Structure 1
Amino acid sequence: MQNILVIGFNTRNIACSASRAGYTVCSIDAFRDLDLQKCSYSSALLEYRTVKELHQLDVSRIKAQMNAFGIEFDALVPGSGLEMLDHKSFSCPVLASSPDAMQKASNKLYLSKRLEALGIPHPRCYSPEELDAIEYPVMVKPASGGGGIFNRVARSRKELLTILDELSRLDPEFTEETIVVQDFLEGTPSSVSLLSTKNEALPVAVNEQLIGIPWLSRLPFAYCGNVTPFRTEQAEQMEAFAEELVLEFKLIGSNGVDFLVSEKGPVVLEINPRFQGSLDTVEKAMSINLFEAHADCFRGKLPEKPDAKCFAARGVMYSDRELFIDRKLMDFILREKGADIPFQGTVAEPDGPLTSLFACTSTREEAVLSLERGANRIKAFIENRAKKPRECLSSVEKV
């Protein structure tokens, strides 16, 4: 196996991991960031951006893009947004769990019922028929994907109805059937990254999740990155729950389970049946190539459990305005030696991801402080240029 196609909403971390493992990688994603293009043999733009478009994905168009690369692929790897890709539509193997397994793992109402049966702590999910039985406050979020940008907290029935109306206006695909309403619980967001074969599962790392960090995003529940490892007394129990779940749902390869670390113990939030956003920090902290380990899972092989070598942190920085990426801004972001470098000539949308920052230090506090300093430098650069009329970056028309 040598030639790999990675396809998803954002494929940079998967594609670059595969490239470091020695594979020839092509990618189809929605951003085509500078570093993605550098680590890929070739890349193409994913033409499907919204939930509705992804549900109406034209496999024949994807095949045409694959043919345009001019190479024969040995395997296809779906990333975020393309988890439900029909494996039978492609002539090459798909290195992912079966669509049925991924659909069940991603269905939060189904997951809630399985967690109840397994006796694993979780927030109660309310079906559309149970809205009169809701105990507030509740979290309202898309049934799948979203990165936290659409998550809202409702503290009354009136607020819930307002949020449901707001989300349906943002995207008509957000309906009672595609929105999850679950108990809102307090705790530290975290996750467990695992590798699994058909018969075994290995928890590779426990990660702290950075959610709604004010100096990275204006959105209160936006996914803003990770710190690996997450030191907590609940880590062993989290690993045990996560291992049980990936085997229960028959997931193969690299998968993740999201938790809240609460005063009463770990609470399972959801399963991510695919490569996770924590891929970068897990690789840096644990000195492991997750793509190679993922591929080995389909050969029935698991690695030895790795030990953490540092505290690795990734901060996903969001743009607070419509931002045209010119050469000066791209070069300034490159100085931070991060990832997801926006390509010159593209536009970052308001509250859309701008770039990722990294740190690898001896303490968690140092790593997070390094991220904050980097984010502040980029924000200061943008603000200073915005004050100069000829170099204003806040509007495409002014550049």
Structure 2
Amino acid sequence: MQNILAIGFDTRNIVCSASRAGYTVCSIDAFRDLDLQECAYASALLECRTSGELRQLDPGWIVAKMNGFGLDFDAIVPGSGMEMLDPSRFPCPVLASSPEAVKEASNKLHLAKRLEAMGMPHPRCYSSNEPEAIEYPVILKPATGGGGIFNRVANNRQEMLEVLEELSGPDQGLTENEIVIQQFLEGTPSSVSVLSTKDEALAVAVNEQLTGIPWLSRLPFAYCGNITPFITEYAEEMEKLAEELILELGLLGSCGVDFLVTEQGPVVLEVNPRFQGSLDTVEKAMGINLFEAHAGCFRGELPEKPKAKLFAARGVLYSDRELFIDRKLMEVILREKSADIPPQKTVIEPDWPLTSLFEFASTREEAIKSLEGGAERIKTFIAERITGEAESLSPAGEA
């Protein structure tokens, strides 16, 4: 196996991991980041912005793009948003779990029922058809995907109805059946990265999740990155729960289980039946190539359990305004330990990811401090530029 197609909403981390492992990789994704293009043999733009658009993507269009790359592909690896590719529609194997297993694992309502049957701790789910049964506060979120940007908390029935109206409006376009109403719990967001064959599962890392970090995003539940490893007394318990759950769901390859570590212990939130956003930090901290390990799962092979060598941190910096990426802003981003670098002449929408920052250190505190410094330098440059532009347009500036 040599020639790989990675396809999904954002494939940079998959493409670069596969490239480091020695594969020839082509990509179809919605960003075509600068560093993706440097790692890929070739790439194409996926002009989709919602999970609904991704689900409706014509397989024939994908095959035509594959033919245009001029390679004979040995496998397709789906990323975010493309987990349910039908393998029967493509001329080469799809290295992913079956669409049926992915559908059940991805849907938070179906997962809650499975967790209940398995006796695993999880937030209670409510139906909007039984308002008298709901105990507030609750969190409302898309049943599948979302990255946290659509999550909303409601403290009473009126707030819940307002959130339902917002999420089902023209901007988000979710139906009531696509919205989960879930018990809201306090705790530390975290995840376990798992590799799985048909018969075995191996937890390779426990990760702290950065969500709604004010110096990275103004969205209260947006996914803002990871720190690997996450040092917690519950790490071993979380690994066992994650391995058991992934095997029970019949998932294959690289998968993730999201947890909330509460005062009472870990609670399972959701399952990601695909490569996760923690790929970079897991690889750096644990000294493993996750793409190679993922491919090995489909041969029935699991690696040795790795041990953490350092703390690896990723911070996803969101833009708080519409931004045009010109040469000067690009240079500022490139001065940092950055990835997911938008190409010049790209327009970044408000509350969309601008770039990812990285730090590798001997302590968590050192890594976080470095990330915050990098984010501040980029934001300061943007703010000073905006201020300068405003002054140049003022009457005094014109004079």
Alignment check: 8 A CA contact 1:139 1:153 kept:
yes
Kept in 2: contact 1:217–1:224 (CA 8 A): yes
Q: Return the alpha-carbon distance in structure 2 between the equivalents of residues 131 and 256 of structure 1.
A: 32
What is the CA–CA distance in structure 1 between the aligned matches of 2:226 and 2:131, rounded to whole Å? 34
Paired letter, 2:152: R
Matched with 2:65 is 65
Give the equivalent residue in structure 2 for 1:279.
Answer: 279
* Alignment partner, residue 322 of structure 1: 322
| Aligned residue in 2 for 1:339 | 339
**SS of corresponding position for 2:123:** coil
User: CA separation in 2, counterparts of 1:265 and 1:170?
Assistant: 39
Identity of aligned residues (%): 74
Is 2:111–2:270's contact at 8 Å kept on the other side of the alignment? yes
The corresponding residue for 1:259 is 259
CA–CA separation in structure 2 for the residues paired with 1:151 and 1:160:
12
TM-score by length of 1: 0.96
Residue 13 of structure 1 is matched in structure 2 by 13
TM-score by length of 2: 0.96
* C-alpha displacement of 1:361: 0.2
The answer to whether the 8 A contact 1:325-1:348 is kept is yes
**1:1-399 correspondence to structure 2 within 5 Å:** 1-171=1-171, 173-389=173-389
Range moving further from structure 2, 88-97 or 60-69: 60-69
3-state SS, counterpart of residue 360 of structure 1:
strand
Cα deviation, residue 131, structure 1: 3.4
The aligned amino acid for 2:301 is K
Alignment size in residue pairs: 392
1:128–1:177 CA contact under 8 A, matched in 2:
no
Instruction: Indicate conservation of the 8 Å contact 2:197/2:300, yes or no.
Output: yes
Q: Distance in 2 between matches of 1:169 and 1:391?
A: 38
Aligned residue identity for 1:107: N
Q: Following TM superposition, where does structure 1 have runs of at least 4 consecutive aligned residues deviating by more than 6 angstroms?
A: none
Q: Does the Cα contact within 8 Å between 1:385 and 1:391 map onto a contact in 2?
A: no
Q: Separation in 2 of the partners of 1:39 and 1:54?
A: 24
Partner of 1:395: none
Q: Structure 2 regions of 5+ residues with no counterpart?
A: 393-399
CA offsets, 1:136-194, max 9 Å, x none?
11010011111100000011110011001111124463111111110000100000000
Whole-angstrom CA distance in 2 between matches of 1:127 and 1:250: 27
Note the alpha carbon deviations across 1:110-143, whole angstroms, 9 max, x for none. Answer: 1111111111000011234333311111010011
Name the CA distance, whole Å, in 1 between partners of 2:62 and 2:94: 14
Listed one character per residue, the Cα deviations across residues 186-213 of structure 1 (whole Å, up to 9, x for unaligned) are 1000000000100000000000000000
* Paired residue type of 2:272: N
Q: What value does the CA root-mean-square deviation take over the aligned residues?
A: 1.3
- Helix, strand or coil at the partner of 2:96: coil
Note the residue ranges of structure 1 that are not aligned, 5 or more in a row. Answer: 393-399
Decide whether aligned partners of structure 1 residues 65 and 107 sit closer, same or farther in structure 2, where only a CA change above 3 A counts: same
Taking a change above 3 Å as real, the CA distance of residues 386 and 192 of structure 1, as seen in their structure-2 partners, is same
SS of 1:95's partner is coil
Query: CA 1:139–1:290 in structure 2 vs 1: closer, same or farther (change >3 Å)?
Result: same
The alpha-carbon deviation at position 391 of structure 1 amounts to: 11
